[in-house]
Amino acid sequence: MRYFTKQQGQKEAVPVDLESLGQGRFRLTLNGKTFQVDALPLENGSLSLLVDGQSYNVEFEENGDEIGTLVRGQVNRTDVADERRLRMRAAAGGFTVEGKQVILAPMPGKVVKVGDEVTEGQGLVVVEAMKMENELKSPKAGKVTEVFAKEGTPVENNAKLIVVE
């Protein structure tokens, strides 16, 4: 099946082809390169992936079409759509982000850095969790209009951190 993915800061969606080979095995094609993937679900809801011989533990958090992943201490937010949903979005204006955008904490942690002026893809806040720093980036160019957390304060999962307009 073909999906289209777009990470924050990317201008265009990237096609990803995913073919099930059965028994937790997949063939994934991204940017013309094909990968063999073995996936094993773990008890905590995460996946253990073996991608062309490299091992990864991946934690997921879904929010609508957006999927947050935690891989090797790095948090990524990716918008994922199949071809049908992509056509529907194109009719409604595509992947552009407009209006008020609220940045949420992807996990419990501590705010360690806050920014004021932003461009699309610019780092806004660094949330520290389990001795790892996770930079949250702006989904659009704009002005920070509200800051809900102060540097050094702990935050809960999905806590409002910043509003960008």
More confident residue, 101 or 159: 159
How far the first Cα of the chain sits from its last, in Å, is 36
Domain boundary assignment for the chain: 2-92, 101-164
Question: Is there a shared CATH topology between the 2-92 domain and the 101-164 domain?
Answer: no
Instruction: Tell me the pTM.
Output: 0.50
Fold that domain 101-164 belongs to in CATH: OB fold (Dihydrolipoamide Acetyltransferase, E2P) (2.40.50)
Burial class (CB in 10 A: 0-12, 13-18, 19+), 128: middle
CA distance 140 to 147: 16
Write the pLDDT tens digit of every residue in 81-101.
877 776 676 666 545 566 777
CATH 3.40.50.1860 fits 2-92, yes or no: no
Above 80 in pLDDT, residue 35?
A: yes
